[in-house]
Structures are given as C-alpha cells and as structure tokens.
Chains A and B, each alone.
Chain A
Amino acid sequence: MTESQHFAAVLRLGDDALVLGQRLSAWCGHGPILEEDIALSNIALDLIGQARNFFTLAGQLENQGRDEDALAYFRSDREFQNHLLVEQPNGHFGDTVVRQMFFSAFALDRCAFLARQTVNADVAGIAAKAVKELHYHWEHAAQWVIRLGDGTPESHQKVQDSVDQLWAYTGELFTPDDVDTACAEAGLMPDLHKLQSTWRDKVVACLERATLRVPEDGWAHRGGKQGVHSEHLSYMLAEMQVLPRTYPDATW
C-alpha cells in the first residue's frame, strides 16, 4: 500500500459519506411524514459528520495543507471517488430507502472491519463511532423497505421498481480496484469479496421479508472510484460548492 493509496482509501470513505449525506439532507422539510424529516436528517447529519472526520484525516495523510472543506469544496466531480450508488438521485421515498438499505448494509460491514483493523488507529477511532450510526441507518432503511414492500400493491410495485433500478449500482461496491486490493493486502481495508456474501445474505433476507423479488445479477455500473461518475454528481457538486468557489478568499 503506497501513501497515495492510503490517502485514496480514506478519502473515498469521506466521499461516500458526504455525497450520500448531501443527497439525504434534501429531504429535510419535504418528507412523507414529519418523523421521517427528522430521521433522514439524522442520518444525513451522521454521514456529514463521518465525512468531516475522514476528510480531516485524509488531509493529514496527504500532508498538503488541505482540510475537510478544501477536500469537499475544491475538487471537481472527476476527483470525487464515491460509489455511483450514493450519488443516484433521491427519486421518491422508496428510491431513497432502497439506496440507503443497499449502501448501509455494505457500509456497516466495511466500518466494522475498519474499527477492528490495527493499521491506522485514527481510522479505527472514527469507524468505532460510525459503526453505531450505520447500524441504525441499516435498521431504519431495512424497516422501510419491508413496510413498503409488504404494504399496499402500489407501494410494493414502486419499491420493487426501486430495487430493480438500483441493483445495477451495487456490483461496484464489491469490485476491487488497485487501491482496494493494496489496502486490503495491507490490512487497512476489508476484502470486498468477503463482504459481498454477508451483504447478499442480509439484503436478500430483507427483500424476502418485504415480499420483493431479488433481481438477477447482470451488468454492474462502475467507475465512481476512478472518478468517472453518472451525470448527476456534477450538478450536485455545482450546487454544493457554489459559495466557496465564488468567494475563495472568504471564511464562513
């Protein structure tokens, strides 16, 4: 594992968290029920908090003077290395909870590994806190997928469509690239193939309880980790970054 791979691995953790946190925060004020405005905001806050911690740490590893905001606000979409899944639009509530369920199932296991590994104690410290949050995110999302799947015929159809639509973005989570492989060999990051089987067990169990059909594995979209994103990310970043980019000398 090179220094730049170490940096990239930590940066990616921050990118996943920030992009999904930014997406979820858009529900605040617009949820289907007030309790969900609160719950989704909570999850968004957890993720933004995790992003801040991982970015700060990534900046220290890089040692080029970049802090959390430099990494969040002054990189283009081609420099973001989040998974494509988390940048997918919120869509309707079912799309949002399915995206969350798929991601949280993965992030929870990844984070549990990060909390245990001994290669980077700072990563372990951040992960130890995050793992509790991710556990709640998973529970919350899985419960909603079950309610929607086993709710009304309309909700069943809608959430089945969400599952079918988003399934093709889950393969990337378990497709290692050079950074993943080197960091897994060094013991910093988990072996993605191993995570895949536990992810599948959990997700399939959730979908079955929700009376939903598990899609067949087909083509998996990928490229996020290499900075080749869907068209959505650039718009998201344009909005998110507008103030620091317009007033680069200002502090807020």
Chain B
Amino acid sequence: MSPVEMNLEARFDAYVAEEKKIEPKDWMPDAYRKTLIRQISQHAHSEIVGMLPEGNWISRAPSLKRKAILLAKVQDEAGHGLYLYSAAETLGVTRDQMLQDLHAGKAKYSSIFNYPTLTWADMGAVGWLVDGAAIMNQVPLCKCSYGPYARAMVRVCKEESFHQRQGFQVMLNLAQGTPEQKAMAQDALNRWWWPSLMMFGPSDADSPHSAQSMKWNIKRFSNDELRQRFVDMTVPQSELLGLTLPDPDLKWNEERGHYDFGAINWDEFYNVIKGNGPCNKERLGARVKAYEDGAWVRDAANAYATKEAARQKNANASTHAA
C-alpha cells in the first residue's frame, strides 16, 4: 500500500468510526467495496429467490383476501430485490453480472429458501419466523456505513414488519381455527423453527466476515446476539398462539435474563449451503429458467429502444434541416 493509500484508508476508518455515511463517489478500500457487493447482491438474490417458496401458494391461497395479501407481499420482495440491486450497482457492478453469478452458483442467497413450503400454514410460519428473523438481521443495517444500502434498508424494513405481522395473523387464524388447521400450524412451526435460527449464520467463532464488517460499521451485532434476541422475542409469541416450539431444551434462564435453547444442527446448515437442501435445485432452476425464457423479451426491448432512439434522432435532424 502506498503512503497515499494508507492516508486515505486512515481517513476512511476515522470517517466511518464517526458514524458518517460513505457515498458511491467517496474513496473506499477495495475490500470494503467487495464486501458490500458480496453482501448486498446476496441480499438482493435472497429477495428474489425468496419470492419462490411463497409464490408457490399464491394460486392456492384459501380466500381472495389472503391471495391479495400474499401476492402483495411477494411483490414487495421483488421491489426489495430491485432496491438492493440498485444499491449494489452504485458500487460498480451491473445487475446482469450479479444475476450471472447467481445462476452460475457463484453468489449465495439465504439458505432458508431451499426449504419447501408444503402447506398453507407455511405462509404463516415463513412470514412470522423467516421475515421476523430477517428483520432482526436487517434493522441494524439501516445504520450501515454505506449510504445507499442503509437507505434501501429503511424502506425494506418498514415493509418487512408488515410481512411479519401478516404471517403472524395467518398463524393466529390457523391456531384458533379447526383442529386440522391448528395441526397444520404446529407442523409448519416444527419444520421452520430450526432453519429460522440458522438464518443468523454460524456462531461468532465460525463466522468468517464478522470482525471486519463490525469494524466497518456494516455489521452491528454478532450472529449469536441477534439469534438470542430472536428467540427471546418469539417464545412469548408462540405462547400467544398456543403452539409449541420444537425444542425440549428451551427454557427461561433467570440468571442470564434470556431463554436457553438447544443445539443447532450445523451439519444440516452447511449441507443446505452446499446444495443439498430439499429445494436448492428447484429454486435456482426456476430463476435460471425465468432468465433464459425471458432473454428474447429483453432483447426485443433493447432492440426497440435502439430503433426508437434512432427514429428520434432522425426526427430531430429533419426538424433542424427544415
């Protein structure tokens, strides 16, 4: 590193330490840029892959009101994808490059979306738990040091909190419904609880990017801290629903002032990341198919835009000539 770069980096660190925002045209260390591109694109991919498990139930939503709410929710996820791809583009990468990386399996997305949505109650469990965990992770990002990401997250979080409430409402209706509906809700909770806890990522000791991201004010709380908060928040909600969290070790610890919970199956977590989850192939396959099937449409839109621009130019030229 040259003395000039060292100086820039020291100024950058001091700037970030003062809780000031970095904007696209500001100088930033390469590693900071790379970390953000990785994180924001991964986040954007999670939004669009995340449309698939819930999109799976739009056609079968059990009332027109539920159908409209679910469709609006999944549409919001597309909107989040859009803000986040745009935020990542401010760092000098294109949406198309990011999509290529996703399709080639080089870029990750949240592993939770590799689980199947098997019943309508999964729409409740996903909204309540998965969006709930996402909010826990994302609220601190509203204060992230990178301005465009922080601002995108403010909007995302507002909508996510609506999503979580609607998920809880679906669960509540089921839990208070017929015995079959209640069983459906419990079954969904059993299947989604542990994967939701895994959403916070590996324990701090095994989390490769955590320390540097904390220093750069991209990350504010450790994975374990956020996971604990999520458990503490969710236990009373499950009691309100009259449903049982599938963890025999779950109990209040007076001394810690927190709930203790059982060991997470990290073997499963790493296997799902590696591609062995129940729906990895389907999810990525659906994204690749949409992209490939849509190629002729995007080509047509580009060709038309080029023709229109040429026609406009000719029209202007003849106006001037006249």
Residues of A whose CB lies within 8 Å of any CB of B are: 18, 22, 25-26, 28-38, 41-42, 44-45, 48-49, 51-52, 55, 68-69, 72-73, 92-94, 146-148, 150-152, 154-155, 158, 239-240, 242-244, 247, 249-252
Give Cα distance in the complex from A41 to B54, angstroms: 14
Q: Which residue of B52, B55, B66, B75 contacts A38 across the interface (Cβ within 8 Å)?
A: B75
Q: Answer whether residue B6 sits at the interface, using C-beta atoms and an 8 A cutoff.
A: no
Within the complex, the shortest CB–CB distance from A16 to chain B, in Å, comes to 15
Residues of chain A with a CB closer than 8 A to B74's CB: 28-29, 41
Cβ contacts B296-313/A at 8 Å (1 or 0 each): 111111111001000000
Query: B81 within 8 Å of A by Cβ?
Result: yes
Interface residues on B, range: 35 or more
Interface-forming stretch among B172-180, B203-211, B250-258, B271-279?
B172-180
A250–B180 CB distance below 8 A: yes
* Residues of chain A lying within 8 A (CB to CB) of residue B61: 243
CB–CB A252/B78 < 8 A = no
B120 and A252 form a contact (CB under 8 A): yes
Q: When the two chains form their complex, are residues B68 and A28 in contact, meaning their CB atoms are under 8 A apart?
A: no
* A48/B296 in contact, CB under 8 A: no
B248 at the interface (CB under 8 A from A): no
Q: Flag whether B293 is at the interface (Cβ < 8 A).
A: yes
Report A-chain residues with C-beta under 8 Å of the C-beta of B302.
151
Q: Which residues of A contact B294 (CB under 8 A)?
A: 31-33, 36, 93
Whether A150 and B85, one on each chain, are in contact in the complex, defined by CB atoms closer than 8 angstroms, is no
Query: B197 within 8 Å of A by Cβ?
Result: no
Neighbouring A residues of B170 by C-beta, 8 Å: 252
- Interface flags for B205-235 (1: CB within 8 Å of A; 0: not) read 0000000000000000000000000000000
Q: Please tell me if the beta carbons of B75 and A41 are within 8 angstroms of each other in the complex.
A: yes
Least distance between A206 CB and chain B CB atoms (Å): 14
6 contacts between A and B (CB under 8 A): A25-B67, A36-B294, A69-B63, A155-B303, A243-B60, A250-B177
- By the criterion CB–CB under 8 Å, are A29 and B286 in contact? yes
Decide if B293 touches A32 in the complex (CB within 8 Å): yes
Contact indicator B290/A28 (Cβ below 8 Å): no
Report the Cα distance A119→B294, complex, angstroms. Answer: 45
A34-B48, A147-B301, A251-B173 are known contacts. Are A28 and B75 too (CB-CB below 8 A)? yes
Smallest CB–CB gap between A22 and chain B, Å?
7
Bound form: Cα–Cα A94–B298 in Å: 12
With contacts A48-B71, A150-B307, A155-B299 taken as known, whether A244 is within 8 angstroms of B48 at the C-beta atoms is: no
Q: Given the complex, which residues of A lie within 8 Å of B51, measured CB to CB?
A: 28-29, 37
